[in-house]
Every structure is written in structure tokens, then in C-alpha cells.
A and B are shown apart, each in its own frame.
Chain A
């Protein structure tokens, strides 16, 4: 069977700075791919390219067998099948949590208000946000906001979920509540690509771990091998820095 998402020779640069260089990756349905690597290694850019928020300089992105890096592809159609959650939540401050969650289902996916709200209430309840549905985002804690942002992405039933360091802006004690959700999603078989600094979490949920260094995927494989027996010197160096010894 063909992979849900396939990258071949992806390249992206800003001026002279090459941010992604010859990136190959295949993601199957139900895979959880964790991107690790230091800041500036290209993790976020990679996710933004997949969502077509950035135009790649070269290479091919195939989603569900179709090349989406083709200029004739409507990016909105692609995005309506992917979810992206940002590090800084990016909830819309002028809308309640519920309205944040129903906006895209109603306006992009054509659900009625009742259907969209039913779906949103279900997910908000599942993730412990039922009592906050009618509040505005700025009245919630960081962890609650990030959970709401996750629910907002899930409300469109994405086939692929992209998570861009979603716990990086949170207090350590709030990280747990967000990761619990991601863990549940992984268990339910949600296909995800996540950039993360949480190594133990990556090791636990990932089916594949990719180590990025200076815009290249230097090494990829199952978490057990990457974390216990990395082949590349750079990977070893990075893991020594971030893992408590």
C-alpha cells in the first residue's frame, strides 16, 4: 500500500539560508512520527511546508497518493484534511472556545451549527474542557488553551495531525495534561507528525523518530533504536545534551 504522506528530496531556503535539504520521509496511516533536533534544525519549517503554509523550493510532497506540491493544487482543500496546532496556541481571542472549535467545521466543512457544536462538545468533554466551552481563550490557563487548540484541530476530523512543539510554551506541570491527550490520540490510531522537545514522550508514543540536523533528516528509525543505539555522531551528541544521564 502507498504511504499516506510521502516526501522526496524536499528543499526549502530563505535567501542563502538552506532550512530543509533533501528531506525524504514516508508516513503511513496510524504512524506517529516524532521530529527531534535542536532549535533551528528545520522541524517547524518542515511542518509548515507539509501544510502548504510555505512553498518548497524543490522536491515532492504526496498526500494520499496525490502530489500536493503541485502549484495547481488548491491548498485549502489539502488543509481541510490536515490539522496543525501551533506552539503559541493561536486561538482566536474574539471567539469563545466553542466558536473557535466550530468555525472551520461550519464554514469549511459545511456542517450545521448543531452538528458542529455537538462534535465540539463531545471532544471538549473528552479532553476535560466541557466547563470552559463558553469562555474566551484569554481566560483559560496555558494548558487549557493548548488543549482547546488541539480540540479545534480535531473538530475537522483531520486525516493527518501536525503538532508543532505544542508543549514548548507551557509550564512543566501543564505539559502533562496536553501530552496525555496526544497519547490518547496516538492510541486511538491518529496519524500524527509532531515536532517535540519531550524526549521521553517521543520515545513512548512514536512509531518513528526522525533526528533533524541543519535541515537534513540525519537519522530515522524506531524510537528504541534511535534512543539506545544512535548511529550518527550528531545524534549521540544531541541526545547526550537533552537526556538526563
Chain B
């Protein structure tokens, strides 16, 4: 009997009002967007240096000429990023968990974790890269690589590990104590509580700031270019210095943006899916 529902006149009228309100919203959104973007474009295009800018930054032949080398260089950025990211997560996670332990046996580990985060968060990343690339080979240690690629990547891992550790720790601390209490009440040990109850919730909460750090890491792989690794920014600078044209910089920028935007969308989607699963879709 309830299936026989047909909307009343009033409801149909309301649906019409809702649709027209929605349409009005769409019109406003479109108009505002067009006006703002138009104004920005007009501002840039009418700037006194625009013709000159077009010559030195938007030269199609130069973009084409530099593209293959930049792509090759960018592959180095991607490799650095792909190697560093899992290691950073692991390191950051370990440090964060270590700081949350309570066992007296682990006191030195806790001390070390605090010391590590304080030290590496405090140093400019570019300085860490310099110290690793030039300092470690100077020690002449047996069996340690002298490749700038690997030394630079190690510097990024240690530097970002400290940031990520703090992000994860803040996630862990944001979990309400009642969650710990109910896990302990079920008889779970402290590590089990961490592994099965706290961390899954904490990590989900810190996905946006983690992504933020990883986007930042993707860009900071360019810092390794400063010690002479031929990654994309270094390639672009090289081309610019040689041909007096800066278009390759914009090409490089496009590469970086093209890498980070899909990652952001994927993360948004993952977050939405998790929320929907837990709270239903209303």
C-alpha cells in the first residue's frame, strides 16, 4: 500500500522551486567563475611585459626541444619519489609509534625518536641534502654508496620522515581515549590495540595532511638537482642558461602538476568511499 505513493501537488511545486533554486545556483557559479578568470587573464595579458614574457616563457619550439630531456629528468624525480615515499611512511610510522609506547625498556628508543624528529624537522631540507651528498662520501666509509641519487633520496627520507612522524602521531593522539579503553577491555595488548584499533582510525584521519607532505616531497625531489643530479628542474635550468629561454621551466612545472593532481583526486575518492562505508550514504 505504501508503494502506491504519488507526490502531492505541493511536493511537485516544491520540487519545481528546488530545481529553480538549483538552476540559479549553477548560473551564479558559472557567472562568478567566468568573471574572475576573465579578470585574471585580462590582468596578465595587458601587463606591459607580456610580449616579452611570451617570447621567453611560452616559446613552443623551445618547449618541444627541451621536452625529451625534461621527461627523462622527470623520470628521475619520479624514481626518487617512488623509492622515498614508502620508506618515509615506514620511518614516520615507526617513530610515531615509538613515541607512543609506554614500556620502560623502550626509553632509549623514545629518546632517540624525539631527538630525531627535533633534529631533522629543524633543518632546511636543502641543507640535509648537501650534508648527505657531500658529507657522507667524505667519510670514506666502506660499502656506502657515493651516488648522489641515493644519497639525495636518503636525505629526503630522513627529512620527510620527521614531518610524517609528527603527522601520524597527531593522528594517533586524536583518537578518543574511550577507544583505547574499549580495546583494552576486550583484552587486547597494547601493540594489538595500536595495530587493530588506533592506527587504522588514525591513519585515515591523517590522509589529507600526509598527502600534503607527499605532494611537497614530489616537489622537493628537485632539491637533489642542486648537488648535480640531472632531474627535471636541473635539466630545465641547464637548457635555459644555454639558450636563454625559460619555457622549459613551465614544461617542468606542468610535469609536476600533472603528477600531483591525479594523486589528490584519488585520495579524495578513497576518503569519500571510506566515509560512505562507515556512515551510509545519506
Contacts and interface: CB of A to CB of B under 8 A. Distances in A.
Contact of A57 (B11, B17, B21): B11
Interface in A59-99: 59-60, 69-72
Contact of A71 (B5, B7, B21): B21
B14 A69 contact: yes
Contact of B8 (A9, A18, A72): A9
A58 interface: yes
A119 interface: no
Interface in A89-111: none
A71 B18 contact: yes
Interface residues of B, number: 11
B121 to A, nearest CB: 26
B170 to A, nearest CB: 15
A60 B18 CA distance: 15
Interface string A10-33: 010010001001000000000000
Contacts of A14: 282
A49 to B, nearest CB: 13
Contacts of B52: none
A21 B8 contact: no
Nearest to B16: A71
B279 interface: no
A58 B7 contact: yes
B14 A18 contact: no
Contacts of B18: 71
Contacts of A11: 5
A72 B24 CA distance: 12
A18 B17 CA distance: 24
A69 B14 CA distance: 9
Nearest to A72: B17
Interface string B1-32: 01001011011001001100100000000000
Contacts of B5: 11, 18, 58
A18 B10 contact: no
10 contacts: A9-B8, A14-B282, A21-B2, A57-B11, A58-B10, A58-B11, A59-B10, A59-B11, A69-B14, A71-B18
Q: Sorted from nearest, which 8 A-B pairs have the closest CB atoms?
A: A58-B11, A71-B18, A71-B17, A18-B2, A58-B8, A58-B7, A21-B2, A71-B14
Interface of B: 2, 5, 7-8, 10-11, 14, 17-18, 21, 282
Given A69-B14, A72-B21, 20 more contacts: A9-B8, A11-B5, A14-B282, A18-B5, A57-B7, A57-B11, A58-B5, A58-B7, A58-B8, A58-B10, A58-B11, A59-B8, A60-B10, A70-B14, A70-B17, A71-B14, A71-B17, A71-B18, A71-B21, A72-B17
